[in-house]
Amino acid sequence: MEMTAETLDRIRAALDHALQGGFYHTRFPGIRAGDIHRREEFEQLPFTGKDDLRGAYPLGLAAVPEERILRIHSSSGTTGTPVIIPYTRKDLDDWADMFSRCYRTAGVGPRDRIHITPGYGLWTAGIGFQLGAERLGAMTIPMGPGSTDKQLTMMEDLRSTVLCATSSYALLLAEEIEKRGLRNRICLSRALIGSERWGEKMRARIAAELGVELYDIYGLTEIYGPGIGISCRCACGMHMWTDYLYYEIINPRTGTPVSPGETGELVITTLCKEGAPLIRYRTRDLTRELPGDCPCGLPFPRIDTLIGRSDDMVKVKGTMVYPGRVDELLAGVKDVSSEYQIQIDHLNGRDILNLFFETPLTDKTALKGLEKTVEAAFKEKIGLTPKAMAVAMGELPRSEKKSTRIFDNRY
Ligand code: ZN
């Protein structure tokens, strides 16, 4: 994003505050905020990564005295030490303000009834949706995850108008509502979906089966939590609340800024966070900046829907393959389901990309034709030719968690 003189001032103030905490005091020896006069100087500062935050476990990230810390949250590390983020009263206030702005951007108001299914507890999901809804002044139904029967009963009896969920749980609820014939007894008009990567086909199914408008909400525990950005009614990328944060998009391999509009890794600096300020934090999320103003009129810049994580992208025969791009291209091919898997192997000195996809078709000739179509579309959109193989619906493994779709067997 653009760095104005005002942004630079705010970055200097944020850096000055961060350096008062032990974490950046140790990480940036000899650096003073007053030394940063230009964007290029700011971009010389080292990045902060998730492993650095892990190293500060349990409370090493705190940049304020303990009496000012009201709450901690912890990110859902699948392995190893968790990351703990301390919040001051102002941090929680700012988060609530940003989140209520998300609701308003999605057309949600005080008369709505907000059904919250993400989990409450150490992680930031459920509690973030709650905080924002309370700031907005809407009624919340703090369900948390699971017990689908109870979810549907409450949704019907309390006439919930807004669903907050992960994409996979929204799909599960949509399918149950369809199966039980509840569609006419459900009052949902909107759904706010957490920012895991999800394809167009899944989006279309959820929207159609629930009969709702969908909004993508962005966030990560390290930077407040969900609610630091959201898509608007124009559904063209997510507006980022740049009065609270500064972002960059970098080449994840070299660490240098990408050209405008090019895909890269999102890096965030917090501008007014007190408890655990972060400077140039590598989110690992891949996206690009969208040019120009949004027709909705919001004065905040937009990033594109996430296309994956920088740890997921792979290089095959010199071409970068992003899972999000594969989702996108398969969504454009008729008779191909949203489920696929890529296996990359190295045989006889050559890289081979095998693409398995599910299809409802069974006729042998039709399957051959479909495989050729998928190969051509892949070549056109990604730039290399895979070996495409059709499999029956339901044959590829499913998981409750975000499923891994690319398997690199070369190393
Ligand atoms: Zn907009």
Task: Give the pLDDT confidence of 113-151 residue by residue, as tens digits.
Answer: 999 999 999 989 999 999 999 999 999 999 999 899 999
CB contact at 8 A, 324 and 197: yes
In the reported structure, the alpha carbon of residue 97 is separated from the centroid of ligand 1 by a whole-number distance in angstroms of 18
Name the more confident of 196 and 366: 366
Task: Name the segment(s) of the chain with CATH classification 3.30.300.30.
Answer: 314-408
In the reported structure, the alpha carbon of residue 228 is separated from the centroid of ligand 1 by a whole-number distance in angstroms of 14
In the reported structure, the alpha carbon of residue 349 is separated from the centroid of ligand 1 by a whole-number distance in angstroms of 48
Q: Which segment of 79-93, 151-165, 220-234 scores lowest on mean pLDDT? A: 79-93
Q: What is the pLDDT of residue 318?
A: 84
Q: What is the pLDDT of residue 407?
A: 87
CB contact at 8 A, 170 and 205: no
Q: How confident is the model at residue 204 (pLDDT cuts 50, 70, 90)?
A: confident
In the reported structure, the alpha carbon of residue 241 is separated from the centroid of ligand 1 by a whole-number distance in angstroms of 12
**pLDDT at 401 > cutoff 80:** no
Across residues 48-71, what is the average pLDDT?
A: 96
Listing DSSP states for 57-78 in one string gives: TTTTT--S-GGGEEEEEE---S
Q: What is the pLDDT of residue 403?
A: 59
Handedness of CA 378, 380, 384, 385 (dihedral sign): positive
In the reported structure, the alpha carbon of residue 220 is separated from the centroid of ligand 1 by a whole-number distance in angstroms of 21
In the reported structure, the alpha carbon of residue 193 is separated from the centroid of ligand 1 by a whole-number distance in angstroms of 17
In the reported structure, the alpha carbon of residue 143 is separated from the centroid of ligand 1 by a whole-number distance in angstroms of 30
In the reported structure, the alpha carbon of residue 23 is separated from the centroid of ligand 1 by a whole-number distance in angstroms of 36
Average pLDDT, rounded, for the chain: 93
In the reported structure, the alpha carbon of residue 163 is separated from the centroid of ligand 1 by a whole-number distance in angstroms of 21
Q: What is the pLDDT of residue 200?
A: 77
In the reported structure, the alpha carbon of residue 304 is separated from the centroid of ligand 1 by a whole-number distance in angstroms of 12
Q: What is the pLDDT of residue 310?
A: 83
In the reported structure, the alpha carbon of residue 301 is separated from the centroid of ligand 1 by a whole-number distance in angstroms of 9
Q: Which segment of 189-193, 220-224, 336-340, 401-405 scores lowest on mean pLDDT? A: 401-405
Best CA proximity match to 292, nearest among 247, 261, 335, 267: 261
Q: What is the pLDDT of residue 194?
A: 86
In whole angstroms, what is the distance from residue 329 CA to residue 389 CA?
15
In the reported structure, the alpha carbon of residue 234 is separated from the centroid of ligand 1 by a whole-number distance in angstroms of 6
Q: What are 296-315's pLDDT values in tens digits?
A: 999 999 999 888 888 778 88
In the reported structure, the alpha carbon of residue 230 is separated from the centroid of ligand 1 by a whole-number distance in angstroms of 9
Q: What is the pLDDT of residue 77?
A: 59
Task: Name the segment(s) of the chain with CATH classification 3.40.50.12780.
Answer: 89-308
Assigned fold of 89-308: Rossmann fold (3.40.50)
In the reported structure, the alpha carbon of residue 203 is separated from the centroid of ligand 1 by a whole-number distance in angstroms of 19
In the reported structure, the alpha carbon of residue 302 is separated from the centroid of ligand 1 by a whole-number distance in angstroms of 8
Residue 261 DSSP class: T
Q: How confident is the model at residue 79 (pLDDT cuts 50, 70, 90)?
A: low
Q: How confident is the model at residue 197 (pLDDT cuts 50, 70, 90)?
A: low
Dihedrals phi, psi of 329, to nearest 5 degrees: -70, -35
In the reported structure, the alpha carbon of residue 237 is separated from the centroid of ligand 1 by a whole-number distance in angstroms of 8
Percent of the chain with pLDDT over 90: 78
Q: What is the pLDDT of residue 307?
A: 84
In the reported structure, the alpha carbon of residue 59 is separated from the centroid of ligand 1 by a whole-number distance in angstroms of 38
In the reported structure, the alpha carbon of residue 299 is separated from the centroid of ligand 1 by a whole-number distance in angstroms of 8
In the reported structure, the alpha carbon of residue 238 is separated from the centroid of ligand 1 by a whole-number distance in angstroms of 7
Q: What is the pLDDT of residue 411?
A: 73
**pLDDT at 322 > cutoff 90:** no
In whole angstroms, what is the distance from residue 240 CA to residue 382 CA?
28
Q: How confident is the model at residue 336 (pLDDT cuts 50, 70, 90)?
A: very high
Assigned fold of 314-408: GMP Synthetase; Chain A, domain 3 (3.30.300)
Neighbour tally for 74: CB within 10 Å: 16
CB contact at 8 A, 245 and 238: no
Q: What is the pLDDT of residue 92?
A: 98
Across residues 90-99, what is the average pLDDT?
A: 98
In the reported structure, the alpha carbon of residue 402 is separated from the centroid of ligand 1 by a whole-number distance in angstroms of 27
In whole angstroms, what is the distance from residue 57 CA to residue 85 CA?
9
Give the ranges where 112-187 is alpha helix by DSSP (H).
Answer: 125-136, 148-157, 167-179
In the reported structure, the alpha carbon of residue 106 is separated from the centroid of ligand 1 by a whole-number distance in angstroms of 10
Q: What are 253-293's pLDDT values in tens digits?
A: 889 999 999 999 999 999 999 999 999 999 999 999 999 99
In the reported structure, the alpha carbon of residue 215 is separated from the centroid of ligand 1 by a whole-number distance in angstroms of 11
In the reported structure, the alpha carbon of residue 104 is separated from the centroid of ligand 1 by a whole-number distance in angstroms of 12
Q: What is the pLDDT of residue 348?
A: 87
In the reported structure, the alpha carbon of residue 232 is separated from the centroid of ligand 1 by a whole-number distance in angstroms of 5
In the reported structure, the alpha carbon of residue 292 is separated from the centroid of ligand 1 by a whole-number distance in angstroms of 11
Best CA proximity match to 95, nearest among 251, 217, 257, 238: 217
**pLDDT at 195 > cutoff 80:** no
In the reported structure, the alpha carbon of residue 298 is separated from the centroid of ligand 1 by a whole-number distance in angstroms of 6
